[in-house]
Amino acid sequence: MFLRNFSIVLILAASFGHSSAFADTIKIGEVGSMTGSEATFGISTHEGIELAIKEQNAKGGVKGKKLELISVDNQGKPEEAAIGTTKLVTQDKVVAVLGEVASSRSLAMAPIAQKNKIPMISPSSTNPKVTTIGDYIFRVCFIDPFQGSVMAKFASETLKAKKVAVLRDVKSDYSLGLSDFFKESFIKSGGEIVVEQTYSSGDVDFNSQLTSIRAKKPDAIFVPGYYTEVGLIAKQARKLGIKAALLGGDGWDSDKLYEIGGKSLNNGYFSNHYSKDDQSPAVQSFVKNYKAAYNKVPDGLAAMGYDAALVLISAMESTKSASPKEIRDAVAKIKDFQAVTGRISIDEKRNANKPAVILEIKDGKFLYKSTVNP
């Protein structure tokens, strides 16, 4: 019995680590949450990356070699992200890793990428800590301090709001970080946070929190959460008679938001990485190609995945031999790179310097409202 089990273990161990069929491709690794409770984020990002790579391969690849994307699913768990990264770096020998969306998983991946000196680009992790792990870790999105201040400025300057209530997701470090920075900015500009309420992602009933918010009569409510809850929050808020504007961050970005929230989202605004109604040719061709390939409209995460891949590809092209160290140095030098989500410049902290757009929700459409530059 024991011997049987032991031999099973041996056989399985021996079956790991097979080299890929094509010896002369450039291997790029990707770690994402393709299954589990955050599957939609991982899948969107993956599709964006895949599209960029496919398009580049159609143009002949990089330096004459085709790009091969090796994706690893982490089920939404940090330790799976870590072991997946180890596998990509040591077994599959990728030259760079793209990932992850959630900061908690990026934090698990980064030490491994750094230790093995493989550049890692996160498409959408906004926790400032991620890039501090080492000089091989980059991101192509703005960080929470910037996004928080964007909405704070919008609230006080455009909406002329003096009193704002905050309703944040206590289970999400993204939500916590964003609300902290929003509060800081808003108070600095003279506003008042009248009440702070919390919920947990997965909740469906927000009536108690909203009732307590209603009593304080805010001009606007900041809800830096994910679309999965925001839709319901908007609905319940309107049904309780709350007419104040609803403000949010890039976690709102999804088709499903309107599906769930419907008309109650009118008078809602959120900051995002890009607007699919942006008429610039880069955005429009991306939207068109994505729709053709995946039969749906790309959300912000797909655009970020696409851009992360674009940045990586551009960096690789400017190197001599696409080795990890050269790629790393090239990424660090990226300035004014025209991507789908704006002009990206990587600063000395390895974060992206780029504008945010503010979108207004009206009758099911995300309307472009304004751009805020850093």
Partner 1 sequence: MNSTNKTEERNPAAGLVGLKWWILAVAFAWVLNRWLPDVMSSYYFDIIILAGINIILAVSLNLVNGFTGQFSMGHAGFMSVGGYYSAYITTQLLVSHPHLMENPITGNLVFVASLFLGGLAATAVGYLVGLPSLRLRGDYLAIVTLGFGEIIRVIFLNTNAVGGARGLSGITQYTTFGWIFTFVIFTIFCVWRVVHSAQGRVLLSIREDEIAATAMGVNTTQGKVQAFAMGAFFAGIAGGLFAHNLSTINPQIFDFNRSFEVIIMVVLGGMGSISGSVVAAVLLTVLKEALRPLQNYTGVDLRMVIYALVLILMMLARPKGIFGTSEIADSFRAKKGNPS
Partner 2 sequence: MAEFAQYIINGLSQGGTYALIALGYTMVFGILQLINFAHGEVYMLGAFVGYYASKYIVNHQLNERINLLVNGAADQASTSSAILTAILIILLAMVTCALIGFLIERLAYRPLRSSPRINLLITAVGVSLFFQYSGQLLFGSDPKAYPDLFENLEPWTFGSDDNAIFLEPLKVFVFGTAITLMLILRHVIFHTRLGRAMRAVSFNHDLASLMGIPTDRVIAATFMMGSALAGAAGVMVAMTYPKVEPLMGSLPGLKAFCAAVLGGIGNVTGAVLGSFILGVAEALLSGYGTPTYKDALAFAILILILLIKPSGLLGVHRTEKV
Residues engaged in binding partner 2 (CB under 8 A): 35-37, 39-40, 170, 197-200, 202-205, 207-209, 211-212, 215, 228, 231-232, 235, 239-241, 256, 259-260, 262
281 binds, among partner 2, partner 1, none (CB under 5 to 8 A by kind): none
Q: How far is the CB of 141 from partner 1 (least distance, A)?
A: 17
Pick 146 or 206: Cβ nearer partner 2: 206
Does 8 bind partner 1 (CB under 8 A)? Our answer is yes
Q: How far is the CB of 232 from partner 2 (least distance, A)?
A: 6
Per residue, the 3-state secondary structure of the chain, as one string, reads CHHHHHHHHHHHHHCCCCCCCCCCEEEEEEEECCCCCCHHHHHHHHHHHHHHHHHHHHCCCECCEEEEEEEEECCCCHHHHHHHHHHHHHHCCCCEEECCCCHHHHHHHHHHHHHCCCCEEECCCCCHHHHHHCCCEEECCCCHHHHHHHHHHHHHHHCCCCEEEEEEECCCHHHHHHHHHHHHHHHHCCCEEEEEEEECCCCCCCHHHHHHHHHHCCCEEECCCCHHHHHHHHHHHHHCCCCCEEEECHHHCCHHHHHHHHHHHCCEEEEECCCCCCCCHHHHHHHHHHHHHHCCCCCHHHHHHHHHHHHHHHHHHCCCCCCHHHHHHHHHCCCCEEECCEEEEECCCCCEECCEEEEEEECCEEEEEEEECC
Q: How many residues bind partner 1 (CB under 8 A)?
A: 43
Pick 45 or 314: Cβ nearer partner 2: 45
Q: State the CB neighbour count (10 A cutoff) for residue 104.
A: 17
Pick 115 or 216: Cβ nearer partner 1: 115
176 binds, among partner 1, partner 2, none (CB under 5 to 8 A by kind): partner 1
Q: How far is the CB of 244 from partner 1 (least distance, A)?
A: 26
- Residue from the set 2, 292, 320, 336 that interacts with partner 1 by CB under 8 A: 2
Does 318 bind partner 1 (CB under 8 A)? Our answer is no
73 binds, among partner 2, partner 1, none (CB under 5 to 8 A by kind): partner 1
79 binds, among partner 1, partner 2, none (CB under 5 to 8 A by kind): partner 1
- Residue from the set 62, 87, 268, 315 that interacts with partner 1 by CB under 8 A: 87
- Residue from the set 15, 19, 279, 295 that interacts with partner 1 by CB under 8 A: 15
Pick 226 or 269: Cβ nearer partner 1: 226
Residues engaged in binding partner 1 (CB under 8 A) = 1-2, 5, 8-9, 12-13, 15-17, 34-36, 71-73, 75, 77-79, 82-83, 86-87, 90-91, 103-104, 107-108, 111, 127, 129, 133, 169-173, 175-177, 200
